[in-house]
Amino acid sequence: MGQAGCKGLYQSIFDYKTEKYVIAKNKKVGLLYRLVQLAILAYLVIWVFLVKKGYQDTDTSLQSSIITKVKGVTFTNTSELGKRLWDVVDYVIPPQGENVFFIVTNLIVTPNQRQEVCAEGTATPPLLSWQSESIPGATCYEDSDCPPGEPVLTGNGVRTGRCLRAENMPNGTCEIFAWCPVETRSRPTKLLLSKAEDFTVYIKNFIRFPKFNFSKTNVLDTKDRTFLKSCQFDLKNPYCPIFRLGSMVSWAGSNFQELALQGGVIGIQIEWDCDLDKAPSECNPRYSFNRLDTFSENSISSGYNFRFAKYYQDAAGVEFRTLIKAYGIRFDVMVVGKAGKFNIIPTIINVGSGVALMGIGSFFCDLVLIYFIKKSHFYRDKKYEKVRDLGVLDGLAESSQQAETPEAEYEEEGSGLPEQPEAQDGGGGQKGTGFECPQLPESRFGHLGNGKVNAKQLENLQTVEA
């Protein structure tokens, strides 16, 4: 690169280039442009800044801890258990409250089970008539159908090798070694702990947003020890997190008596949406309740239950147990939230994004202006200038300059003015074919340059002389 090129590059660094705008006097397109700008501006102000608070830095890494306690007692009198008083130790599992806890509302009890041999299935009268058809691998026709030592995978024990059949019955049931008598497989039809609807659940929640070092709890900060014993949750009192069991089920859209019969799952969501630009008292928890399991009366998978046992020993030291199949309501406590606080960086980013969005209006209106209106070709010609290649333009300029030069015109024609003879003393006429060009006033015809004229100028001169 030459010295002139380097100098030009250096000078171009300090050049400022600006855009050229074409103002289109079209009211319809102008109105459309302002409407698009107004819509974008409303989106930025209302949605981005007011609703989504785009001027804030947010923290979604919520740290949370849950403590739950259930209170309530009830009394039952059944043939399996007799008269019994139920308190929180009996019907709350696990006993130490966590974010997931289970409340027993119904039971199927199989008492006095001992490890011995019995028939697979539920014994019903008459003797040796069993309901084993629903247990795959339990039905047999002869002893070979019950290989010893093989477990009944969906049953209750291990086969002994005997097939127990009643008289005049073609098939029977495999004998097993198990906790006998085996559990009944019928579903409950009557609710055992019907008074559980009035039990109360205390849900204490601690939260912390580490980015802003902000902590809070959902319990009112008071020194009154009787506050939690007398209050109950409602929308006007969110800092008393003591919930009635039946109310939570109804808020989830279910009926307590129907849900408690075969069990279900209720989700409790605590949401913290904190605007830390305001006072800490404005950061309040919001509760929502939903049934998480799918319930259908005709579905074989509806409800919620599990089994556990209580073990004892008789006077001889032989172990026996009471098997309990518990139906009830499982509660899942979920805590979500975010906190926001003003920060200049997200504010600048969102403002810059809004300014960039304004360009959409210009782009859209340009499309309408040069493609979709009647005079689009007129606006298109005004907006876009057609420029040929610079090298072609230089060539055309050079050729036109040469054509205008008298010497070039003589060379192209291959002929010129006849050579003028030398001037004779005292003569002013023609000699041979030559002639002399008379002196013309410069003020009238202009300077002809070195006494040379082209053919057109000569013709003009002859016309003047004539």
Joined tokens for residue 316:
């001889």
- In the predicted model, what is the mean pLDDT of residues 44-73? 92
Query: Which pLDDT band, with edges at 50, 70 and 90, does 303 fall under?
Result: confident
Nearest to 59, CA basis, from 212, 269, 207, 279: 212
Residue 101 inside a domain? The answer is no
Which pLDDT value is given to residue 297?
65
% of the chain exceeding 90 in pLDDT: 41
Nearest to 58, CA basis, from 333, 335, 340: 340
Residue type, 339: A
Residues 252, 398, single domain; the answer is no
Residues 320, 450, single domain; the answer is no
Residues 272, 402, single domain; the answer is no
Total domains, the chain:
3
Are 174 and 148 contacting, i.e. CB atoms less than 8 angstroms apart?
Answer: no
Residue 304 inside a domain? The answer is yes
Hey, how many other C-beta atoms are within 10 angstroms of the C-beta on 301?
8
Are 292 and 332 contacting, i.e. CB atoms less than 8 angstroms apart?
Answer: yes
Residues 286, 364, single domain; the answer is no
Q: What is the DSSP string of 151-211?
A: B-TTSSSEEEEEEE--TT-S-EEEEEEEEESPPP-PPP-S-S-GGGGG-EEEEEEEEEETT
Which pLDDT value is given to residue 437?
45
Which pLDDT value is given to residue 455?
53
Residue with tokens 């919001």: 286
Which pLDDT value is given to residue 125?
43
Find out whether the peptide bond into 421 is cis, omega within 30 degrees of 0.
no
Give, in order, the Cα–Cα distances in Å from 444 to each of 185, 264, 451, 459: 131, 116, 16, 16
pLDDT at 463 over 80: no
Which pLDDT value is given to residue 323?
92
Residue 3 inside a domain? The answer is no
Residues 195, 271, single domain; the answer is yes
Residue 369 inside a domain? The answer is yes
Quote the domain boundaries for residue 374: 19-55+343-383
Which pLDDT value is given to residue 194?
87
- The residue ranking higher by pLDDT, 458 or 22, is 22
Rg (CA), the chain: 51
Which pLDDT value is given to residue 272?
95
Which pLDDT value is given to residue 70?
92
- What is residue 376's three-state secondary structure? helix
DSSP 8-state class, residue 325: E
Find out whether the peptide bond into 94 is cis, omega within 30 degrees of 0.
yes
For the full predicted model, state whether its pTM sits above 0.85: no
Which pLDDT value is given to residue 459?
53
Using one digit for the tens of pLDDT, what is the confidence trace for 107-121?
A: 888 889 999 999 987
Q: Which residues pair with 203 in a beta bridge?
A: 68
Residues 433, 447, single domain; the answer is yes
In degrees, to the nearest 5, what angle opens at C-alpha 174 toward C-alphas 169 and 177? 145
Last residue of a domain, one of 315, 341, 367: 341
Which pLDDT value is given to residue 430?
44
Beta strand 264-275 with 319-342 is parallel
Can you tell me the distance from the alpha carbon of 312 to that of 322, in angstroms, rounded to the nearest whole number? 8
Residues 252, 374, single domain; the answer is no
% of the chain exceeding 70 in pLDDT: 78
Which domain CATH number covers 276?
2.60.490.10
Residue 108 inside a domain? The answer is no
- In the predicted model, what is the mean pLDDT of residues 359-367? 83
Query: Which pLDDT band, with edges at 50, 70 and 90, does 64 fall under?
Result: very high
Residue with tokens 């799952």: 265
Residue 256 inside a domain? The answer is yes
Q: Which residues pair with 183 in a beta bridge?
A: none
Residue 94 inside a domain? The answer is no
Residue 35 inside a domain? The answer is yes
Residues 217, 318, single domain; the answer is yes
Residues 369, 293, single domain; the answer is no
Residues 324, 262, single domain; the answer is yes
Can you tell me the distance from the alpha carbon of 267 to that of 333, in angstroms, rounded to the nearest whole number? 6
Which pLDDT value is given to residue 131?
52
Backbone dihedral angles phi then psi of residue 268, each to the nearest 5 degrees: -110, 115
- The residue ranking higher by pLDDT, 79 or 54, is 54
Can you tell me the distance from the alpha carbon of 72 to that of 431, in angstroms, rounded to the nearest whole number? 146
Residue type, 166: A
Which domain CATH number covers 376?
1.10.287
Residues 366, 222, single domain; the answer is no
Can you tell me the distance from the alpha carbon of 250 to that of 253, in angstroms, rounded to the nearest whole number? 5
Residues 227, 367, single domain; the answer is no
Which pLDDT value is given to residue 286?
94
Query: Which pLDDT band, with edges at 50, 70 and 90, does 235 fall under?
Result: confident
Using one digit for the tens of pLDDT, what is the confidence trace for 427-442?
A: 444 444 444 444 444 4
* Range picked from 178-187, 413-422, 436-445, 456-465 for highest mean pLDDT: 178-187
pLDDT at 273 over 60: yes
DSSP 8-state class, residue 51: I
Using one digit for the tens of pLDDT, what is the confidence trace for 318-349?
A: 999 999 999 999 999 999 999 999 999 999 99
pLDDT at 414 over 60: no
Using one digit for the tens of pLDDT, what is the confidence trace for 158-216?
A: 999 999 887 777 888 899 999 999 988 777 888 889 889 999 999 999 999 999 999 99
Residues 266-299 as b/e (b if ≥16 CB within 10 A, e otherwise) read: bbbebebebebeeeeeebebebebebeeebeeee
Joined tokens for residue 405:
């030069």
Distance of alpha carbon 3 from its chain centroid, rounded? Answer: 59
Contacts (Cβ under 8 Å, ≥6 apart) of 243: 200, 201, 202, 203, 232, 233
